[in-house]
Amino acid sequence: MKKVYLLLILLITFIPKSWSQTSILSEGNWFKIQITKNGVYRLDKATLEGFGIATESVNPNQIQLFSSPSKLLAQENAKPRNTTLQELSIKVNDTDGKFDTKDYILFYAENPDQLFYDSLNAELKHKQHPYSNENYVFMKIGHSESKKIQNHIPKSLASESINSLTHFEFYEPEFVNILNSGREWLGEYFFSEWDFFFDVNGHIKSQPVKLTSQFVSQTFENTNLSILSEDKVLDNIPLRKINYRWNDYYKRYNRAGEIASKSISNIQDNLEYTFSLPNDIDISSGVYLDFFELTLERAIAFYPNQHQAYLINKESISFDLSHQADREFVWDVSNPFSPSMLQPVNSKFSFQRNDKLGKLSFFKTDNVFTPSKIEAVKNQNIAETETPELLIIYPKYFESEVIQLAEFRKNHDGLEVGYVEIQSIYNEFSGGKQDPTAIRDFARTLWMQNPEKFKYLLLFGDTNYDYKGANNLDYVKMERLIPTYEGKESLEPIYSYSSDDYFGFLEDHEGEWPEGYSQNGSWRSTPNKDHSLDISVGRLPVKDKIEAKLLVDKLIYYSSSKKSLGAWKRKITFVADDADLNIHQRDAEAFSDQSIQNNAAIKPNKIYLDAYPQISTELGDRSPKAIEAFEKAMNEGSLIINYNGHGSEDGWTDEKLLTLNQILRWRNKDRMPILFTATCEFGRYDNPAVVSGAEAALLNPNGGPIALLTTTRPVFSSTNFKINQAFYQRIFEDVSKPIRLGDVFRETKNNSIDGEVNRNFSLLGDPSMAIAYPTLEANLSLINGENPENYALASQSKVLLEGNINDNNFNGILNLTLYDKAVTKKTYGGQNYPSMTYKSIENKLYEGKAKVLNGKFQIEFTVPKSSSEELAEGQIYFYAVNTDSTKEAIGGYNNFMIGAVSNEPISDNEPPQFEMYFNSNTQTFTVNASDESGINVSSNQENGNMILVLNDTLEIALNEYYTATESYKTGQIVYQFSKLPEGSYTAYLKLADVYNNSKEEALEFTVEQETFALTHNLLYPNPAFDIVTLQIAHNKAGEDLQFEISFLDISGKIMAQEIRDCYSCETNISFGMNLEPYLPIQGKYFYKINAIQISNRDNSSKGGKLYFWK
């Protein structure tokens, strides 16, 4: 049933167009053969059957082989594409139409590296494929006759007889990428001298040997690298000094190496070379090999290994092999798709070509290659895919999670969604091999069909700067990755970058652009020649099915959960570092002003590091109050959290304002922000060896951000400002319809183009996701029956506000908050930077609720006596939700004044009445209050702020937690404590009314701690066949817990076991596990949960049964 279901979804998702080009892979029985070396390969009965291919009914003459050009796809969109699979000419050894033991097929194929003739310099050169070590030949087993190789029999022998051909080989190892960035990989490293030997039989020693060497030096003084052979110095390569130090905060941004190359040509008896640095060079200096290219003349012969030889600028030649009794095959492979077999005339071979470069392959039946991998290919035809609004590209491994997300976006958001497995894109657009341009070409194919419709591309899977897996890390599953675009620069820490933007450059003139270059130690950028995004591209950097399932669930929860309703959606939190002469704090202040000017409904929350006291520790300066403020902002919710300042992969600021430990503890699933981080490397997602802060935050299943606009490499504050500014210019441009994150991201990038550095900003998240900003607007119509514009609110006066929501069918509850004028605050300043003043909207004068009937509302209250005496601009915020929690409205108004004095003040000398309660089980403190004039919530009260004092030590401001009911005369405070220790407490609270009449009350209560216990567990689905979810309930909310989850067979043997840590745990938690790799057979199993409370090592256990189906 599962397979049928998936097939139906695919048929519905992709409706083919009759005019599109049909893929050759759309029908027939197909297989894919991996090619790693240039040469002739053999397919025989044993080889095919070794890969599980039945040969009983196969006619060898009806096996067809196809391939596409092996070289790297051109980046330029305008360049013609030749990716259609073309049939290869092959040699078939068969006599009876049956695949017998002695039958075989020979074919020539090349790996993805490119060899070409540089006519300008009259030399052979190579270009190593940066994305793949493998090329592929596609095999079709059917009923059509294959294309056979033709014999090349000259009519007469060529007049020019030769006895040698050009031999070319290169050595370009890929061991290390210095910056873990860019496409350039290097080989052996040496700091004194290094020997290298080329093993080439038949070298004509009377002819010159040309050696081209390229190195990357890391020397800290100008010096030379000597090239020697037989102790004779052949030449010297000048090495330019560098100023890079990876462990120095400032020098680590300098160029990390200098390229040095040299070509030498001389007569050589042997092919052994020594490369030597001076003895007195700095001990920390050294050199990396980039590549060698060797060109020489080689005697024409059959050698133990098959080989290819080259003819340069020779149209017609002949050669004699009569001296070799064991000669077998000489093929002309100048055209690898249609090789021809040279036939001798009296043991002499003749060869004619019109091209400048000819290529011959010499081999025998005992030195042909055998394929190392053959795999089946399902029929496909993605070139005829109907253009969607959202396209999801994914590895096959994540298919079920992709379908879940696609169905949600289709049904909930009304989007047309398509999804395509990554390998099928390679098969049709890059001949089966990995190439990011294939992804871009496929996206462009869909975009060209309907550029107005195709808007969002989601890459569902992690990525790796190590395209080919050179690091050979066991925990990195290359088949689960989707490549990103690594820049061509690999030695400049700031200008080397990775970016998914490449997949969104779809216009004819785009694709290839000057990426800048280093010249004499300075970088030359090319911002005016950059590209703009035509679609928005985002990525979900998931590495396994559990991460994928939890992240999809998180995305769905954000978009659909009614628990996420709330006024937090009007808040933007601006966080700024205190370094660099306040530039980050000044930038944050500018963005705050910009957001308010563009949208009066936005309530800025400012956390400027220098506004909080710092303490010195052995590990450096720290700011506990700033950390507390930031954690509060994350927990209470913000639509956006914006950070400007210094950072790294594992956090923000030298004072450790944000660390990975904090990220893992976030529990704000009902109030998840979009995180904009204008800082260095926090969002690096292409290094599997390191989980960056951005990745950890996005993958936190219990909260954190729902998406990040983040940086993948070091950046400049100037470009940070430019892209940050463009973001706030766009985000609230039209709030009457859903704001999709991808639209904002695309226009933000396009309006802040600044060369390579702009490409370092990436979207980690779903670009099709609508930001949780309400589309309905709450408006203020009248103040005391008059036009609200420039109206002056007087202290101690009653106010009646009237307004509406732009939906006449809206019925529900509206929350209104009135703030006094913005207060001017000042940061501390430091030894290396001055103090700074900034504005903060923080003195709340009133917060209450009103009913909304048919889109209309009114609310009455008294302006407190403690409001500002100076006439200035005030601020009102609205938030409303309808009766069935399906609609929200938001609004704001600031074009009125506050600070006037009432002409008719009311006399009131009675203090408010209130009662306090404490719930020991939930640690919730509640106050019910009433007063004829209303409760004063201002932080500017004559008799002190609304402060709760606990045991005469802990002080907690409760102003922001008070909300009036539908009448301003009554209200409630609800405050949630976090892990109060066991013991007795006395709480003192003073409340005042709007006339500053105050009263103080005390409450005594006791906190008792329960013994740690698991109260409930549920495992589902049960029966299961791969992923299971384990729901666990416990009685220690807010504690750090560790869970050991074991699955056992009926004999008690542990089949699978995982340790899961949970920080600041909620009462109900869930874990996912993929059991498919661990449970070998279907049947009954048992599971056991052993939980430990980390603070005191208390433990509790539960378990159950599981039925598993293979």
What does the pLDDT look like over 50-61, one tens digit per residue? 999 999 999 999
Lowest mean pLDDT among 701-710, 744-753, 865-874, 946-955: 865-874
* C-alpha span between 352 and 857 (Å, rounded): 91
User: Which segments within 1023-1098 are labelled E, that is strand?
Assistant: 1027-1034, 1041-1048, 1054-1062, 1068-1074, 1083-1093
Average pLDDT over residues 794-823: 95
Distance CA 727, CA 719 (A): 12
What gap in Å lies between CA 215 and CA 432, rounded to an integer? 32
Residue 462 exposure: Cα atoms within 13 Å on the Cβ side: 31
For the stretch 302-313, pLDDT in tens is: 999 999 999 998
Backbone angles phi, psi at 437, to 5 degrees: -65, -25
* Lowest mean pLDDT across 153-167, 177-191, 528-542, 741-755: 153-167
pLDDT of residue 901: 76
What are the tens digits of pLDDT across the range 778-792? 999 999 999 999 999
Q: What is the pLDDT of residue 311?
A: 93
**CA 277 – CA 1033 distance, rounded (Å):** 66
Read off the pLDDT of residues 223-275 as tens digits, 9 standing for 90 and up. Answer: 999 999 998 999 999 999 998 887 776 677 888 899 999 999 998 888 999 99
pLDDT of residue 908: 84
3-state secondary structure 392-415: EEECHHHHHHHHHHHHHHHHHCCC
**Residue 858, SS3 per DSSP:** strand
Structure tokens, 730: 């766009």
The pLDDT assigned to 324 comes to 80
Whether the pLDDT of residue 5 is over 60: the answer is no
Question: Quick one: pLDDT at residue 982?
Answer: 87
- What Å distances lie between residue 708 and 584, 705, 745, 1004, CA to CA? 19, 7, 10, 45
pLDDT at 396 (0 to 100): 97
pLDDT computed for residue 882 by the predictor: 97
| Model confidence pLDDT, tens digit, residues 422-461 | 999 999 999 999 999 999 999 999 999 999 999 999 999 9
Helix (H/G/I), strand (E/B), else coil: 350: strand
Does the structure show a pLDDT above 50 at 342?
yes
Strand order in the sheet with 947-950: 954-957, 947-950, 983-992, 998-1007
pLDDT score at 943 = 58
| End-to-end CA, the chain | 14
pLDDT at 2: 38
Least confident of 351-355, 820-824, 1047-1051: 351-355
What does the alpha-carbon distance between residue 180 and residue 192 come to, in Å, rounded to a whole number?
A: 25
Instruction: Tell me the whole-structure pTM to 2 decimals.
Output: 0.91
User: What pLDDT, on a 0 to 100 scale, did the predictor assign at position 503?
Assistant: 98
| Both structure tokens of 1048 | 């056992």
Whether the per-residue pLDDT at 878 is higher than 50: the answer is yes
d(CA 741, CA 769): 6
Which of 108-117, 175-184, 267-276, 341-350 is predicted least confidently? 341-350
Contact 875, 816 (CB under 8 A): no
Residue 738 has pLDDT above 90, yes or no: yes
pLDDT at 13 over 60: no
pLDDT digits (tens, 9 = 90+) for 935-988: 999 887 665 678 999 998 889 999 989 999 878 999 999 999 988 888 999 999
What is the arithmetic mean of pLDDT over 772-777?
97
Look at residue 718 in the predicted model and tell me its pLDDT: 86
Tokens of 450: 């309907």
For residue 527, is pLDDT > 90? no
The answer, yes or no, to whether residue 149 has pLDDT greater than 90, is yes
pLDDT band at 358 (very low <50, low <70, confident <90, very high): very high
Percent of the chain with pLDDT over 90: 75
Q: What is the distance between the alpha carbons of residues 526 and 294, in angstroms, rounded to a whole number?
A: 35
**pLDDT score of 36 more than 60:** yes
Q: Which two tokens stand for residue 248?
A: 């120095």
**pLDDT value, residue 145:** 96
The 10 Å CB-count burial string (b at 16+, else e) for 749-775 is bbebbebbbbbbbbbbbbbbbbbbbbb
Would you list the DSSP string of 448-480? Answer: HH-TTT--EEEEES---S-TT-TT--TT--GGG
**Sheet containing 647-648: which strands, arranged edge to edge?**
647-648, 651-652, 658-659
Please say whether the beta carbons of 673 and 706 come within 8 A: yes
Question: What rounded mean pLDDT belongs to the chain?
Answer: 92
**What domains appear along the chain, each with residue ranges and CATH number?**
24-160+304-375 (no CATH), 164-299 (2.60.120), 382-527 (3.40.50.10390), 776-901 (2.60.40.1940), 913-1007 (2.60.40), 1014-1108 (2.60.40.3880)
Worst-scoring range by mean pLDDT, 703-712, 854-863, 1051-1060?
1051-1060
The answer on pLDDT for 15 being more than 50 is no
